[in-house]
Structure 1
């Protein structure tokens, strides 16, 4: 018998740590606690006590345990944890979680919908983000506790998701408690790294002290500690070495053998304790289990030994398959095993059972002589294969473990390899690598070569390119030609996507040498896509020649791939052709993307379908300024759970909202994705969003906010990134124009153009094809003073980028300026009207254009400059962009036109300043203070006297209770960044 203690003994420090962590969730301070210790030291007992206390605080509690769950079913403990919470209630209904339902359905298949693809895009990080959102939603009322036990047995995918949670729980009302042994492995390394980063508390459980062992015994025997027989306390303290589980097991052996019995005078020892062999701890436990199992019914003994071969957790139908027992007999035996304290039904998975402790299964196996253990394991593996030679689901991995226990290394290797291939096909890349590595170690020749090739593919898929290349070099000595071609082609593609040109070229060359003239169409197509991508990377030869070669190879790949068919290769090649075509014709680029979309839909490739929709949406938004197709692409990405593709689309939508002067939408969209892209390490989207934040500030004329956002952008590595021309042209230059600093704007645009000359860019809104030509025309002078004299038109470019709406509005204004200067006034006015129509989606850019062209029209005497300038003045006054509004008013006054003073515009003043009695004129001075200018500088910009500025500054110091001017400037910077002026 076993005598478990009803109380937790000797863990006051650990319980205090857990209590503090539980309390922190109530104030939205998440945390992570790892309980580390040897088997039986009390980790599970502490975790259960933590869950009990969490229930008492009304926290949502989810619990899962790692166990052998099959290579085809990773994330075992996470599946179990979600099932423990949602089995009765069904999937979560919070609308905010709907985008993550497809990803979460990987853990709970019942949550799939009709739109959910079988293979949901995304890896462990995306799934970690989905789980993070779910836990945060569960923790919203009172907090959430996630308990994961035996993390040392977890699959690599689970460890990766847990690491993601560890790094991102701090600001959420979620506590993660996980238990694991101190054994070397991925879980232990993850825990050590988390401890170094100070994002987790690690409690190393020590053995119990002698006094604590006595208290534990007393709890088990339900007697005061002072009444525990001294001999029993001494014996168990020595034999169990402070391990609570072993104390309970050895105590149960003494009671079961009759050496310790309750009498009228309490618990007493009968006979000598030495008659129960416990002198040597491991042997004593084994002998204790040997005696217990020998006394059982033979059929129950058979069931327990077969179950022990299957692991600490097993499915009832698997044991039934191996033993041949009827279902009724199985239930009778399982009930008897539970009554004998060997097994427990798993409440999280109907039909599954677990040993009361992992040591129980180990001890039972140790009772078998080696030969009998081999026979039992071999028979179990044979029965599994006889029932279904395909070994579906978890049985393939289980058969491999059984054959390894049966000392059949080649057989185990074959099953580990098959389990690894299945894991790779299912997207469980980390598990695939682990399984294939194990198979590679065990395999005999020639299986070792075949397994090695599969392992190369898995390593490449996992991004471990250096290991894959090293292994490929050894495999190449013995593999057949076709297998080597596949290996080198896969490595070449991995190297291309990692932009490792030399390795990619080397692998592609190896493929060409192996193939010679014997290449199949499939091999030629796969190689052509690789070489087409390779031709785009920096390398020898003229760029134009490389681009032409890339296009030739991509077209070859498309033709071959569609004929065979190879739909993924076709999509890869068409995507590349669309990128190449944009430099020449957006219609052609869209045609490639439409073909890509059709192939993806025909062959049910949801990720490639979303890719095509997203790229078509980007092209459409640049052509027209409208985001409808991008929104459609985003919804498609959400339906299939493509988190990264959703984030990429959000980044483009946020920038589109900035260009359209939809400030609130831009801010909401950027905020929605910015933190998540950082957590998922989606650097492409994250940098673009940081640039979008800077552009948002720039297009509102807030230089301080722009610089702060650009500093964050630089910290992310953006300063050395291909977004640089957008920083200079779309961001800095535009901000300078809103400050009426045309010299600075022209310099920024020239710098952007110079950068693009050295680094060809894939972006078309950098100013090169719009704003820069307009400023160049406005700064140009006629070649002669006579009427009708032509001005230079060399600065106005031509090409596909000039049809994009953002660029087109500025180019039309540049043409209008030239036409008006040449005296062709009607044509010039028509060009302005066309520019206004094209620029309709972009109100701030359109009115900036009107301010610029209005000045030129006033000077040259054509068009409707007064109407244009008044409209621009109204817009920029409402937006709080004082410099441009004042410039428009100055031009109107110079033309003798009346100017609105907007003296009723107090709603532009932030509420805090209005409550302090700041006037509109004082606020105009206040709005310039973040730059810490001199009084003379302020006077020049506001067209007032320095003495008047001094008076306004003194009034502001008094009304805001600022002790000095520096404090007032800092107040202005902070307040205007947090509370921008309201529209008039």
Structure 2
């Protein structure tokens, strides 16, 4: 006999839906399902059933539940879900998860081991992406299930992560099942919105009908449905209202009181009259409490006051019991099925159902409830010393229950500020909003300022702006004015980083108004840094399009940038002196960009200063930012990726997926320029969608541009245009990447199609953009490829463009030095200095060591001028370029090389099968597949007749091939050619 049902009744449709979802996930098609219903309606039973059915399919299951205590605990359901599976087994060691381990360590304490740098808070989107990747790895073979219960009690961070997973789970072998009550709030909003977007199924659980109530009672009593006494059935149907939990509670009450008992003829209900019937769960639990020993009853009432989940420590503090008595009472309460140990924490217990704690509290008169809550709050404060965040929330909740709103407000506000400092801005906003609603008029404004900052850092800029704008006036220079001004500055920084210039400008104006005409130096420094970063963004017209009033091409724009640099330098020094290291790092970062025009040495010096400040003050994020920018500068200078790889390691150690993606984007572009196209494609395919999910917009755009540039450099015009369409849709043509789009991508793509006029038009467009905007990308063609093309066309402007590029910092970059060196060679050859031209080509070749594709393009372009002016080795260059582009699958350029060779009267190799077998040295010399067949036989020194018989050709044809081979290989005679063949046979590489 039992008072709980061993089977689920009345939920056949829901179970079919779960089965369908599990089968779908097993096939690799992810699903999300929300079960919505009132307390006790059976959500957890269905969640448990889904876990059971997943286990039967050998699927991994992760299960977590939100706290029902009312405390805001960031990520609790996720922490419990991951810990439930990995606490004993440890972290999975799949290489695919390596970049995500620092983020995941934020959820599973056992994984931390120092993987996340101090001072860095993993962003919500990074954490969500990491969880998504973990689930995908777990479900790779058979699918996996993550069950998150009671989401209505979840913190905002958990809701944000769940929303991200729901929106991105469709193509992954993952089933997410969430349960929640239909109470207004973020969880219900999420479920309804996901259903509307068709990213999740929502199933609302209604009450059981009378037949299902009878079936459930029969299952509890271990009898058939027809053996349930009709009176008992009527009683349960009337008072439980179809709620399965209440059916069990009321049935247990009937059994405990002896009203329902087994006799010879089966189960019978004793009729005691209507007055004796419990009116609901509250009366039922009150009766059950009356039958317990008084110490156990008192302990349960205290526990219910602490919430649906409570710690042993808090219970000990309030009751004053020693451990022996305390655990004896807890054991007694567990044995009667009221509470149970919490599996997620060894020192916590939980009520069997959230309604149980509610019913126990409701069994006390309001005055007793308030007195008990007051006593509990006081006891916890006295016993804890320095309160933790959870303890402060519990004390605040108890103080609120005791009627002390002001004290509760202060506690909530303090925890909110602590969470804001720790990076949990979403939970901070919830707590600060709660505190603000309870605060006195005198304290409300201060809490509003903190709440605005939390809202901004949570990505809710509109809410932050409204909060700040609704504050009453404050006298300029007052403490309140300074606090509000600081909030405006922080919101302005968030808006600037999100490229919301108008909002950033509004906040800066508001801050300056509050600070008055003479802000303190450190305040002016903070303002100057934000204003300087704003000066780098393209301003937008009413239609959202970028335009350039701050360009280097107009005097006003140049002066504004110069002023921004002066202000940033002063801000950096002031911030260091006044103990504002974050502002100092932001200022040095800005100076590094602004000083690039004068050379990379100065830019790197600013970044080294930023690195030193960040390391001195343990600012992990800014340290990594500095390393990334130093690595990027080194890559631009030399074409090598060594320092970028070092920066990537730092980003991984920091645990920042956004920075890691940014570094990988730079490495992908370096791979494109270095001709390692497979590596570049792997990075793009791995990260382009992930960066969009992370809302890492700048890196997402850059990766889309890398994709387009990769296609352009390979001569895949259609793929290039498709990638550029995606780039434009992501706002790429309103970003600072336009010069690279035009010069590095579209101009080179035009040259791969042998359309030199279009290439020059793209370079002109890039140059026009740069003259109207501040640009710090030096690979746009302005400083290398553009001058070379103009000099090749013998344009008057070519020599001027060459001199300008040579004198600029951009002309010192390896990529540009290669093209400028070839431009110098063309000019010298045209002026009759053949030796100087050859030296210039050799120097350009040293700069081009890491850029094979661009080097062969430069050879193809320069060879025509060398042929016309009779200098250098244009035939060898063209053959080398033809060979490269043929092997690279760029037939248009390879064909153009062959055409120029024919015009020069040089034999052109036929492109017949078997060419891939010819060693590169011989292919470059122009050896054909048929000639190579003859060459291979020469290793054994046969006669012409033997060769002719072996290859089924005439001896005269053999003689022609021999003569051609000696000419192409530079062999003095037949014996030398045979020796060369023997050497190649011994070392085919």
Contact 1:614–1:633 at 8 Å: present in 2 too? yes
Structure 1 residues 252 and 194, CA gap change in structure 2 (3 angstroms): same
Partner of 2:194: 194
Structure 2 residue 728 is the aligned partner of structure 1 residue 714? yes
Query: Residue 680 of structure 2: which of 659, 666, 683 is its match?
Result: 666
Partner of 1:379: 375
Give the Å deviation of 1:142: 2.0
Structure 1 residues 484 and 735, CA gap change in structure 2 (3 angstroms): closer
Contact 1:70–1:393 at 8 Å: present in 2 too? no
Separation of aligned partners in 2, 1:202 and 1:408: 40
Partner of 1:901: 910
RMSD: 2.4
Structure 1 residues 685 and 561, CA gap change in structure 2 (3 angstroms): same
Structure 2 residue 446 is the aligned partner of structure 1 residue 450? yes
Moved more, 361-370 or 821-830: 821-830
Contact 2:105–2:115 at 8 Å: present in 1 too? no
Partner of 1:647: 661
Partner of 2:844: 835
Partner of 1:575: 589
Separation of aligned partners in 2, 1:671 and 1:762: 27
Partner of 1:523: 523
Separation of aligned partners in 2, 1:612 and 1:792: 33
Structure 1 residues 792 and 66, CA gap change in structure 2 (3 angstroms): closer
Structure 2 residue 290 is the aligned partner of structure 1 residue 294? yes
Matches within 5 A, 1:353-392: 353-392=349-388
Contact 1:117–1:606 at 8 Å: present in 2 too? yes
Kindly tell me the number of residue pairs found equivalent between the two proteins. 904
SS of 2:428 mapped into structure 1? helix
Query: Residue 621 of structure 2: which of 589, 593, 607 is its match?
Result: 607
Structure 2 residue 480 is the aligned partner of structure 1 residue 489? no
Give the Å deviation of 1:403: 0.9
Structure 1 residues 432 and 625, CA gap change in structure 2 (3 angstroms): same
Partner of 1:975: none
Give the Å deviation of 1:335: 0.9
Partner of 1:159: 159
Structure 2 residue 358 is the aligned partner of structure 1 residue 352? no
Separation of aligned partners in 1, 2:132 and 2:422: 22
Contact 1:790–1:822 at 8 Å: present in 2 too? no
Structure 2 residue 821 is the aligned partner of structure 1 residue 819? no
Contact 1:72–1:393 at 8 Å: present in 2 too? no
Structure 1, gaps ≥5 residues long: 784-788, 909-919, 922-983
SS of 1:542 mapped into structure 2? helix
Matches within 5 A, 1:237-386: 237-272=237-272, 274-278=274-278, 280=279, 284-386=280-382
Query: Residue 421 of structure 2: which of 402, 418, 425 is its match?
Result: 425
**TM-score, normalising length from structure 2?**
0.88
Separation of aligned partners in 1, 2:716 and 2:470: 59
Moved more, 612-621 or 726-735: 726-735
Separation of aligned partners in 2, 1:790 and 1:875: 30
Query: Residue 399 of structure 1: which of 392, 395, 415 is its match?
Result: 395
Give the Å deviation of 1:906: 6.4
Partner of 1:145: 145
SS of 1:475 mapped into structure 2? coil
Partner of 1:801: 810
Partner of 1:948: none
Separation of aligned partners in 2, 1:364 and 1:800: 76
Partner of 1:638: 652
Give the Å deviation of 1:758: 3.1
Structure 1 residues 507 and 146, CA gap change in structure 2 (3 angstroms): closer
Structure 2 residue 883 is the aligned partner of structure 1 residue 868? no
Structure 1 residues 678 and 363, CA gap change in structure 2 (3 angstroms): same
Separation of aligned partners in 2, 1:175 and 1:633: 36
Give the Å deviation of 1:277: 2.5
Moved more, 121-130 or 618-627: 121-130
Separation of aligned partners in 1, 2:827 and 2:894: 25
Separation of aligned partners in 2, 1:870 and 1:585: 38
Contact 1:259–1:273 at 8 Å: present in 2 too? no
Separation of aligned partners in 1, 2:603 and 2:441: 50
Partner of 1:943: none
Partner of 2:23: 23
Structure 1 residues 828 and 907, CA gap change in structure 2 (3 angstroms): closer
Contact 2:432–2:451 at 8 Å: present in 1 too? yes
Matches within 5 A, 1:684-763: 684-763=698-777
Give the Å deviation of 1:483: 2.2
Contact 2:73–2:155 at 8 Å: present in 1 too? no
Query: Residue 597 of structure 1: which of 592, 599, 611 is its match?
Result: 611
Partner of 1:977: none
Partner of 2:949: none
Contact 1:2–1:248 at 8 Å: present in 2 too? no
Separation of aligned partners in 1, 2:378 and 2:408: 12
Separation of aligned partners in 1, 2:299 and 2:889: 80
Separation of aligned partners in 1, 2:660 and 2:691: 10
Give the Å deviation of 1:273: 5.3
**Cα shift readout 1:461-511 (whole Å, capped 9, x = no counterpart):** 223223223222343435634323323332333343344445444443444
SS of 1:34 mapped into structure 2? strand
Give the Å deviation of 1:439: 0.5
Separation of aligned partners in 2, 1:197 and 1:339: 46
Separation of aligned partners in 2, 1:222 and 1:170: 42
Partner of 1:764: 778
Structure 2, gaps ≥5 residues long: 540-548, 918-928, 931-988
Separation of aligned partners in 2, 1:646 and 1:574: 21
Partner of 2:958: none
Matches within 5 A, 1:447-596: 447-477=443-473, 480-516=480-516, 519-537=519-537, 538=539, 542-596=556-610
Moved more, 850-859 or 705-714: 705-714
Separation of aligned partners in 1, 2:393 and 2:457: 21
Separation of aligned partners in 2, 1:590 and 1:900: 49
Matches within 5 A, 1:23-102: 23-67=23-67, 73-102=73-102
Separation of aligned partners in 2, 1:115 and 1:358: 37
SS of 1:211 mapped into structure 2? helix
Separation of aligned partners in 2, 1:668 and 1:409: 57
Separation of aligned partners in 2, 1:50 and 1:56: 10
Partner of 2:794: 780
Separation of aligned partners in 1, 2:676 and 2:536: 36
Separation of aligned partners in 2, 1:182 and 1:507: 38
**TM-score, normalising length from structure 1?**
0.88
Contact 1:558–1:570 at 8 Å: present in 2 too? yes
Contact 1:597–1:613 at 8 Å: present in 2 too? yes
Give the Å deviation of 1:582: 1.1
Give the Å deviation of 1:21: 1.1
Separation of aligned partners in 2, 1:627 and 1:691: 19
Structure 1 residues 543 and 766, CA gap change in structure 2 (3 angstroms): same
Separation of aligned partners in 2, 1:475 and 1:210: 56
Give the Å deviation of 1:22: 1.2
Query: Residue 810 of structure 1: which of 798, 802, 819 is its match?
Result: 819
Structure 1 residues 498 and 135, CA gap change in structure 2 (3 angstroms): closer
Give the Å deviation of 1:796: 5.5
Separation of aligned partners in 2, 1:570 and 1:661: 39
Partner of 1:853: 862
Moved more, 462-471 or 178-187: 462-471
Structure 1 residues 767 and 273, CA gap change in structure 2 (3 angstroms): farther
Structure 1 residues 107 and 236, CA gap change in structure 2 (3 angstroms): same
Partner of 2:943: none
Give the Å deviation of 1:630: 0.7
Structure 2 residue 626 is the aligned partner of structure 1 residue 626? no
Give the Å deviation of 1:822: 1.3
Contact 2:3–2:251 at 8 Å: present in 1 too? yes
Give the Å deviation of 1:67: 0.4
Separation of aligned partners in 2, 1:28 and 1:792: 56
Matches within 5 A, 1:877-916: 877-905=886-914
